[in-house]
Amino acid sequence: MGAFAWLFLTFLPKIEPFFTAVENFIVAHWKGVLIVLMASFIFYQNFSNTRFLFDIQTIPHLNAQLATDEAQIKTLKSDLDIAAKANAGLTTTIQNQNATINQEAVISAQLQKKNAALATQLATERVANKKKVSDILNGQVPQSCEASVQYLRQMESKLSW
């Protein structure tokens, strides 16, 4: 037999008369007991600042919680105003940056067009210069001083300097 069972079996018969007396008292005076219980509960609800009875909210506890919640609401409203102002500032900054980016995109498109035109012009010049170099390399080269002077006089109209 376990220790708990022994304790239960030896202790229970000794407290049975007490429970019987309590039961007889409650049955005989149930109205008075009920009034005392109700008065105790009303006192607890209105004057106790703790929540130790079945986690029931008491009026003083709710008033204290209300004050705490109102302070938090004020803080959160202040934080919300700060965030709204910061959001407005950031929105303005973002709009300005978007306008700058759009301007730079237009400039970039113009520069790309100019770059394409210059690339075409460079290719044309390259072909022309290759032809001129080829003509010079494959052309007659004067061998004497008089022939060189004669050659320069003939080419004077073709030279642009």
Residue-wise pLDDT tens digits, 109-140: 999 999 999 999 999 999 998 888 887 778 77
d(C-alpha 58, C-alpha 73), whole Å:
22
Both tokens of 13, joined, read 């018969």
pLDDT of residue 26: 86
SS3 content of the chain, % helix, strand, coil (to 5): 85, 0, 15
- What pLDDT does residue 61 have? 73
- Per-residue pLDDT for 85 more than 90? yes
The pLDDT of residue 153: 82
Give the count of beta carbons closer than 10 Å to the beta carbon of residue 151. Answer: 14
102 vs 3, residue with greater confidence: 102
What are the domain boundaries of the chain?
A: 1-47
Residue 144, helix vs strand vs coil? coil
Dist CA 130 CA 2 (whole Å): 115
What are the pLDDT digits (tens) for 89-110? 999 999 999 999 999 999 999 9
Residue 46 has pLDDT above 80, yes or no: no
Euclidean distance between the first and the last CA atom of the chain, given in angstroms as a whole number: 129
